Structure 1
């Protein structure tokens, strides 16, 4: 399944150093996995984690789940070797931490041809340069690093995430302008289902494709929040049917539930049905 058509509702971080977690991830209902060699791995464990993860991705089947490797930055002792270790291994993307400009992507692109790049958007400078980053020819995904962004902003926690809305909004605009997959940041209180649901719905309504997660218990909420509901699927089907009937009658608009339906609504309706079909295919035919 290609990037454009696959679901990205739930993107679960898995430490690259934890063999048991790497094994367990093969049975989790995540649309994608970020295998983390950066924040989740202690300094003394980084070379071993790199070797373990590379061998695991060569030999273990993760079904239809997209596989993304978050490397250490090239300004660290481990970043360059991280990139080179995954050359020739089938993965969806290399995720680069703390991307500030397109030059950060160029440096990784030069080391590993033929692999998509994703950018962690987690610094004020990165947010200000979101359009330049999203336009990079090798970039296909952006992941919000909201914890680091909050640290750099010096902002306090708010359930509505108002302090970081400017940065998140810039990334959504840039990503949509350049056809980039957009993944919202993590929700730290993994036992707080109500708070997670609120933040998933907020991110979904902003335009994000899915959410990064830190615990398997968060998967079901994200998968539900970022999927079309039964009501949305039914409405989309009725809109398409009514619009087709209107066109057949020589009219340019239809009315469904007292609301005008034009061609732009049909584009959205068809996207809704396509997403629902992709989710069903992923769950039923590709190992989730």
Structure 2
């Protein structure tokens, strides 16, 4: 149903339109250099776990925009809104219509005080929409990058005594990884609450490689850390890498495992001949930012999470 007679119509999509929504997000990423939907949102949409979603269409029925309200982490936890507008259909009021429809859905669900919205790349239009809906910046997620030449200059990964690194074994390591991840990210609003379903959804993605999920173990086989790498092909077929997540057990802190695992994963991706490697890090995580700075990563862009303004 349209939000107002003057606004583009926002429709409730059919379940079978999930691939079309994800394809739309891919077109936006190719144009902007930033994915408009994060992996959690894509995984939730793929399994039909969204709380609300809406789309706009052109005259022939082609999707021109999409927005979704999904759980940020736990299924019963706060929600997060993300939206995407096809680059060929911008400046036609679609973003405003989708944002208004999402705002109505949030109000109808009585989630306004907790729901946030992500602006990937923090484009000017996103900031303007946020202000229009009474939202203010609450968190900055930096995207940092190192190119192939920088990867070639990295030092080797030196393992602490008694530690070994091996690839993830599907069918055997799922529970081990989930426990390790929950411990390592106990204070993280999204990563630390990943479930078995979340893990399996990511393992089902085309980019997943068990060899690229590196587990660090002590001599007794206790998992003490991991580096999950992600390698994808861009539109031209050239591989691109990502430090998807690096986690270290609190019991293993202070042994240099974070730096070692980061380097191990970077070397793994370099062996795949990636053009470069991206990573996302909270601006407030000063030790991590310093580590990535020291390895040669530079700031490429920033994502901003918006929340309702105080008062």
> Normalising by the residue count of structure 2, what TM-score does the alignment of the two structures yield?
0.27
The structure, 1 or 2, with the larger RCO (C-alpha pairs under 8 Å, 6+ apart) is: 2
- Structure that is richer in strand per residue: 2
- Structure that is richer in helix per residue: 1
> Normalising by the residue count of structure 1, what TM-score does the alignment of the two structures yield?
0.29
